[in-house]
Amino acid sequence: ETGVTQSPTHLIKTRGQQVTLRCSSQSGHNTVSWYQQALGQGPQFIFQYYREEENGRGNFPPRFSGLQFPNYSSELNVNALELDDSALYLCASSPGQEYNEQFFGPGTRLTVL
Amino acid sequence: QQQVKQSPQSLIVQKGGISIINCAYENTAFDYFPWYQQFPGKGPALLIAIRPDVSEKKEGRFTISFNKSAKQFSLHIMDSQPGDSATYFCAAREETSGSRLTFGEGTQLTVNP
C-alpha cells in the first residue's frame, strides 16, 4: 500500500450532475496529480497541484477542476457530467514536483448513467 | 495525440517463460521512463524505472532495456510467474512538466501455470 487514500471507492451519478472526489496524499508529499483511466486504457493526466496551486493541466475541459488544501489533500470536481466521464479516477502523490516517483491511490470508480 | 505507444495489447506466457513488452516514444524531451504494474481494482504501482543515460537496468526478475536512438524501451520479466499476471503500463515524463506522466495503452499479461 502506498499510503495514498481516495474516497469514495465507487460512485454512480447521472448525466448533468456534479461530483467531488477526494484524495489524501502520503505523509510529507506536497504534490498531487489526478489521472483519468478509462476502461482498458492507460491513465490520462488531468492536472497537478503543488503547494495548493495548479501548475500543470492535461487536455481536459474546464468543467474538471480541483483544489489542494494546506494539509496537501486534494479534491477533483467534475461539473455537468457526461457519459464519457465514466472511468477510474486516480490520485498520485510525490514528495515534490521534481521528484520522479509517484505513488498512486486505489482510485475512485465513477459511473455516469 | 498518443506520445507513448505500447505493444502488445495482451500477452500470454507459460510459467517460467520470458515476458517482453515494448514501448516507443516520440518526445525527445522525455527524461524518465517508469513501468507500472496494475492489478484489478488497484492503482498502478511502480515496478522499475530508467533514465535515458543508461541502456539497461535490472531489479530482480525485471529488466528495462533502453534504446535512446530508436526512442524505444522494453520490459523483460524473466521466469514469469502466475502472480505476475496483471496489466503493465510504460510511461514517460518530461522534466519541465513536473510530475506529469504520459502512459502507454497497457499490456494485459497472463502467465499460465
| Residue B95 confidence (pLDDT) | 77
Which residues neighbour B46 within 8 Å (Cβ) at sequence distance 6 or greater?
A101, A102, A103, B34, B35, B36
pLDDT at residue number B96: 79
- Give the pLDDT confidence score for residue A27 in this predicted structure: 86
pLDDT at B1 over 60: no
- A92 close to A100: Cβ distance less than 8 angstroms: no
B20 membership: H or E segment, kind and range: strand B19-25
* B104 → closest Cβ in A42, A56, A106: A42
pLDDT at B39 over 70: yes
Chain A residues inside the 8 Å CB shell of B106: 40-42
* Distance from C-alpha of B8 to C-alpha of B104, rounded to nearest angstrom: 11
pLDDT at B23: 98
CB contact under 8 A, B98 and A43: no
Pick from A91, A87, A85, A86: nearest CA to A107: A91
CB contact under 8 A, B99 and A99: yes
State the 10-residue block means of pLDDT for chain A, 113 residues long: 90 98 92 94 94 91 96 96 98 82 94 97
pLDDT given at position B26: 93
Pairwise CB contact (< 8 Å): A42 & B99: no
Q: How high is the pLDDT of residue B43?
A: 93
Q: Cβ of B92 under 8 Å from any chain A Cβ?
A: no
pLDDT band at B2 (very low <50, low <70, confident <90, very high): low
Whether B104 and chain A come into contact, CB under 8 Å, resolves to: yes
Query: Which of these, B46, B98, B41, lies nearest to A58 by C-alpha position?
Result: B98
Contacts of A49 in chain B (CB under 8 A): none
Strands B56-59 and B62-67 come out as: antiparallel
Percent of chain B whose predicted confidence (pLDDT) is above 70: 98
What is the per-residue pLDDT across B72-103, written as a single tens digit (0 to 9) for each? Answer: 999 999 999 999 999 999 999 987 777 789 99
> Given a cut of 70, is residue B109 above it in pLDDT?
yes
